[in-house]
Structure 1
Amino acid sequence: MQRYRCDCCLRTYSGLTGTQICGLHRHDLFLEVIRNMLSDTPLSCRKLAARLGLTKDTIWRWRMIILESLAEACDKDFSGVVEVDETYQRESRKGSREWANHAANSNQHPAPPRPQWYVYRSGRIKMARGLSQWQIPLLTVMDRGGRRLFAPIANRRNRTIEIALAPIVPDDAVLCSDGMRAYRAFCKKHSLTHYEVSNKPGKRVVAGAFHIQNVNALHARYDAFIRPFCGPATKYLHRYLRWFLLRAKIKPEAAFRSILAAA
């Protein structure tokens, strides 16, 4: 990396001075991480670290730098036939020291609000069936023009859905959803044409053209994308959603230029 010297203060600098990757020694491996992130089958941090001869912590740190550099991938303006549904991502505190700190000093550190997930898998505590507060709803909105929004929301209440959909769904749109009451209330308040579809065979398409199959297909692709990472920490979930949408929207070479310019 070419370095320069200031004639006034005599300090040296390079083209990366002041950036997040300043001081990075293996630029070739950093580019390999970017290429893997935009490949058809991105690897987990452990597997990629084993392939490149680095530690998993280094791969994770580089990956967070890259994800933080990515531009916003969600669209804001939808039109025409708009499909909306939600999927769920289990709440994760990966890397948290809450349980270890509580076990070491219960007087100073309060008990975490839930047991660790492996405790449920061991059978010592039975997990409640159905949805719970530990499953984060991911609101998914798509229209027939290819615009997408994929974002976590606090809950599925009417007010939450109203705040999420009102700025992006115009009054002349046709909304397709499942039978959740929040969508019905939103359409009634904004006088939208609303089609409710069911997941039962023969009822997944209404009037021959109105369905939520595009959203369901996006959910299937998201499940396949997020599976190798074994549940990312919830505080970084928005970065993974941005990564997932960006992979489907731009070509890899354009992504390389965007990431390198932002970093």
Structure 2
Amino acid sequence: MLHHDFRRFLDALYRLNPAQIEDAQSKIMDLRRKTEAISEIEARTIQDHKCPYCGHERRQKWGRTRTKVQRYRCTGCQKTYSGRTGSAIGRLHRPELFLVALRDMLGVAAPQSVRKLARQLGLNKYTVWRWRMLVFSIIGSSSIVSFSGIVEADETFQRESRKGSREWVRHFADPKKVAPPPRPRWEDFTTQGLKMMRGLSKWQLPILTVADRGGARLFRRLPNRKSVTLERAMKPLVPSDAVLCSDGANGYKNVAAAGGLEHFVLGSKPGTRVASGCYHIQNVNSLHARYKRFIKPFCGPATKNLSGYIRWLEVRLAGMRPAEIVRAS
């Protein structure tokens, strides 16, 4: 737009009525989302000049895509590509709305539910759900964390959930051929008056939490509550010169004995929570509280997706920005 046309446009804004101002504001907001999404996508191409097909570094501009993203043509293989080619977000039809959903996931405020965010963006709830699973695949598994000094370790537990499973549906459809699942549905404990198992059981999934006084932290879902499993998970995390603070689980005792670590066993009763004035596990207990607050609105995510939610919390605590997710895709 030419300068004098832009000045005319600004002057015309004063003649708008309130309804027109709201309409113009929504249009500008949509345009701003698209512009920011294009900037993030093109930043990924600026960072890496190599052709995604042949690895050639020389290229030339070749128009724009349907979503207004800069397209390039490789001078080696003659193929065209953009910043989304070969990435996890390469086939998204609404990259600007995906960026809004990504900001909601990583923002300071608590993330919204899939249904609420879908209503806000004018999308189907399944679209937002697929985007969330896509982000889980991008952020992947936990990065390697090194601990030092005083290392605190403890577990928290998440009740098993089989959301999306068809096991009971298949059993009811053909009970002769399909055996009943190994445990009742959680709703049966209330509708059929079954007694809930007290304390911890095999249906409570352990999540190992490790932290040190330098700010390093780690969440990791364990397959079971066995001491051998806990010992195997802790061995590569604790250096030989660290001081280990934990509860009295045998897995921690075995790790400390095998590595010759100084080990302080802390309890939950008054007088046993702190040893020698500075050894405690309050940092990991704080992380447990943050995990519970984070996971509560999702009403027990499916166990098959639990590792993705744990990694999501780690990314939020680390302060990762949406731009880093887009470039990592």
How high is the TM-score relative to the length of structure 1? 0.90
Name the residue aligned to 1:80: 149
CA distance in structure 2 between the partners assigned to 1:15 and 1:107 by the alignment: 54
The aligned amino acid for 1:125 is L
Alignment of 1:130 with 2:199, yes or no, is: yes
Q: How many residues align?
A: 260
Maintained 8 Å contact 2:153/2:211: yes
CA distance in structure 2 between the partners assigned to 1:164 and 1:257 by the alignment: 32
Q: Which residue of 160, 170, 173 maps to 1:101?
A: 170
Gaps of at least 5 residues in structure 1 are none
Alignment of 1:243 with 2:312, yes or no, is: yes
Any idea what the Cα deviations from partners look like across 1:205-236, whole Å, max 9, x if unmatched? 11000000000000000000011111111111
CA distance in structure 2 between the partners assigned to 1:74 and 1:8 by the alignment: 35
Maintained 8 Å contact 1:74/1:245: no
Name the residue aligned to 1:180: 249
Maintained 8 Å contact 1:75/1:147: no
Any idea what the Cα deviations from partners look like across 1:97-137, whole Å, max 9, x if unmatched? 11111111223433211121111233532111111111100
What is the root-mean-square deviation in Å for CA atoms of aligned residues?
A: 2.2
How far did residue 43 of structure 1 move? 1.2
How high is the TM-score relative to the length of structure 2? 0.73
The DSSP-based 3-state class of the residue aligned with 2:155 is: strand
The DSSP-based 3-state class of the residue aligned with 2:187 is: helix
Maintained 8 Å contact 1:142/1:215: yes
Name the residue aligned to 1:46: 115
Name the residue aligned to 1:23: 91
CA distance in structure 2 between the partners assigned to 1:4 and 1:209 by the alignment: 59
CA shift in 2, pair 1:6/1:207, >3 Å:
closer
The aligned amino acid for 1:261 is R
The DSSP-based 3-state class of the residue aligned with 1:211 is: coil
Q: Which residue of 133, 139, 144 maps to 1:64?
A: 133
How far did residue 144 of structure 1 move? 0.8
How far did residue 28 of structure 1 move? 1.9
Q: Which residue of 164, 183, 186 maps to 1:117?
A: 186
Any idea what the Cα deviations from partners look like across 1:147-202, whole Å, max 9, x if unmatched? 11111112232211221111111121111011222212221222211111111123
How far did residue 74 of structure 1 move? 4.5
| Higher CA-based Rg | 2
CA distance in structure 1 between the partners assigned to 2:77 and 2:140 by the alignment: 35
